[in-house]
Amino acid sequence: AQRVTQPEKLLSVFKGAPVELKCNYSYSGSPELFWYVQYSRQRLQLLLRHISRESIKGFTADLNKGETSFHLKKPFAQEEDSAMYYCALVPYGQNFVFGPGTRLSVLP
């Protein structure tokens, strides 16, 4: 069965420090992967998707098929990055499978 794991429930870093939010998936096919973010009192919104290979708000994510990972990275964390981050997999022809989420807290 398809599954997404995010090993850290909470990740705290200091402002200006690098941050990496881990995401691993299990899927035998070619994956479509996304990162969604939910800021306090806001709706869940797309941060980035792997096929676009773009950087949003300084975040990047690289798909590593060998390690079945799609970790989210940012070299210098900002306080406004504090939010809940969800990694999501879309198996072919199916709907989103979300990971449990990681709460990122960026400390001043």
Question: Going by DSSP bridges, is the β-strand pair 45-49/97-98 parallel, antiparallel, or unpaired?
Answer: unpaired
Give the number of C-alpha atoms closer than 13 A to the C-alpha of residue 95, restricted to the C-beta side.
0
Beta carbon of residue 12, minimum distance to another protein (angstroms, whole number): 19
Q: Which is nearer to another protein, 73 or 98 (CB)?
A: 98
Given candidates 61, 72, 101, 106, which one binds another protein under the rule CB under 8 A? 101
Whether the Cβ atoms of residue 85 and residue 73 lie closer than 8 Å to each other: no
Beta carbon of residue 90, minimum distance to another protein (angstroms, whole number): 5
Q: Which is nearer to another protein, 77 or 102 (CB)?
A: 102
Q: Which is nearer to another protein, 44 or 68 (CB)?
A: 44
Question: Going by DSSP bridges, is the β-strand pair 102-107/10-14 parallel, antiparallel, or unpaired?
Answer: parallel
Tell whether residue 26 is a contact of another protein (CB under 8 A).
no
Q: Tell me if residue 62 falls in helix, strand or coil.
A: strand
> Which 36-95 positions form the footprint of another protein (CB under 8 A)?
36, 43-46, 49, 86, 90, 92-95
- Give exposure, 65-89, as e/b (b: 16+ Cβ within 10 Å): eeebbbbbebeebeeebbbebbbbb
Interface positions with another protein (CB under 8 A): 32, 34, 36, 43-46, 49, 86, 90, 92-101
